Structure 1
Amino acid sequence: MRDEELARAVRWREDGRHEEARDLLLELSGRHPDDVEVAYQTAWVHDVLGLESEAVPYYEKALAGPGLSDRLGAFTGLGSTYRVLGRVDESLATFERGLAEFPDDPGLRTFMAMALYNAGRARAAVSTLLTVVAQSDQVGRYRRAVEYYAENLDETI
């Protein structure tokens, strides 16, 4: 029963039926308070609805327990949510935890760059973004130069 209801709630969220998904996920959270998958999906739907403050405890619960299938998504979601709420130090700490588990993830690094910018660390933010760009296929023959300037951003002639 739990699996079917969780799948239905996810479908509803994906289909834009956010309020219905939220209602079902809150009900599931009440019945399965230690279920990390339910917590994660409950956090996500709150984020989609712009209810970031309400999403936080669900993200935290999802990351605290074992067995979450999308830890990367939970780190990205929680870090981003903290940033939007102006909790930049917690955002950066969350991204650092996520990067300890997923060191090469470009999405996580990109969201961290936004938090670095909000923390007043523009140089670190740009450097992080340049590193992400350098690791993409889009930079082509300029990869080495972009990698170099990611570390030496202030260098000029």
Structure 2
Amino acid sequence: MTRELLDQAIQIREEGRARQDLTILEKALELLNELHVDDPTNAEISYQLGIVHDNMGREQGAIAFYVQALSQGLAGKDLERCLLGLGSTYRALGQYEQAVETLRRGVKEFPDNRALQTFLAMALYNTKQYKEAMEITLHNLLETTSDEKLQYFKRGLTYYAEHLDEIG
């Protein structure tokens, strides 16, 4: 029964997010809160509460539930998305060191997730770690672009991505 209700809450949350409709998101929040009362140690419910708070612009609430979900042993794709949500929320609130720490964990555990890498690059920029931020950004650009002019210079740009401070 809980799985069906959780799936329903996720579907409602997704609809509310897609439509940017707070009334729909509020319905998802109510249902998730009820599920959380019945099963407060369920990492997936805590994680979904984090997302719905994020979707509603309630960042502090989102952080609390994301952290709770992590402490409850969230795993797999949900862990991947939770680390992204938590890290980007920390960054949005100006908590840059926590953002870097969280997003580094995400990149370490999910090295192929370019969204995690991009958010990490932004958080590194915010902490004045410009060289590493540029390196991550340039590597992602060069690995994903089909732009012929960038591809022509790919070898040189790849080298310079890791040697930005070198002269001539």
Could you state the TM-score of these two structures normalised by the residue count of structure 1? 0.90
How much does 1:67 deviate? 4.8
Q: How many residues align?
A: 157
Among 44, 47, 62, the residue aligned to 2:69: 62
Structure 2 regions of 5+ residues with no counterpart? 17-23
Please tell me the root mean square deviation across aligned C-alpha atoms, in Å.
1.7
How far does the alpha carbon of each residue in 1:94-116 deviate from its partner, in whole angstroms, 9 at most, with x for none? 11111221123211100001111
Aligned match of 2:158: 147
* AA aligned opposite 2:29: R
Structure 1 regions of 5+ residues with no counterpart? none
- Percent identity, aligned pairs only, is 39
Aligned match of 1:102: 110
* AA aligned opposite 1:83: R
Aligned match of 1:25: 32
Does 2:42 align with 1:35? yes
Measure, in 2, the Cα distance between the counterparts of 1:117 and 1:49: 26
* AA aligned opposite 2:50: A
Map of 1:106-145 to 2, 5 A cutoff? 106-138=114-146, 140-145=151-156
Measure, in 2, the Cα distance between the counterparts of 1:151 and 1:115: 18
For the pair shown, the structure with the greater C-alpha radius of gyration is 2
4+ aligned runs moved over 4 Å, structure 1: none
Measure, in 2, the Cα distance between the counterparts of 1:109 and 1:61: 23
Measure, in 2, the Cα distance between the counterparts of 1:48 and 1:145: 41
Among 84, 91, 97, the residue aligned to 1:83: 91
Aligned match of 1:7: 7
* 142-151 vs 41-50, greater mean Cα deviation: 142-151
Measure, in 2, the Cα distance between the counterparts of 1:28 and 1:122: 43
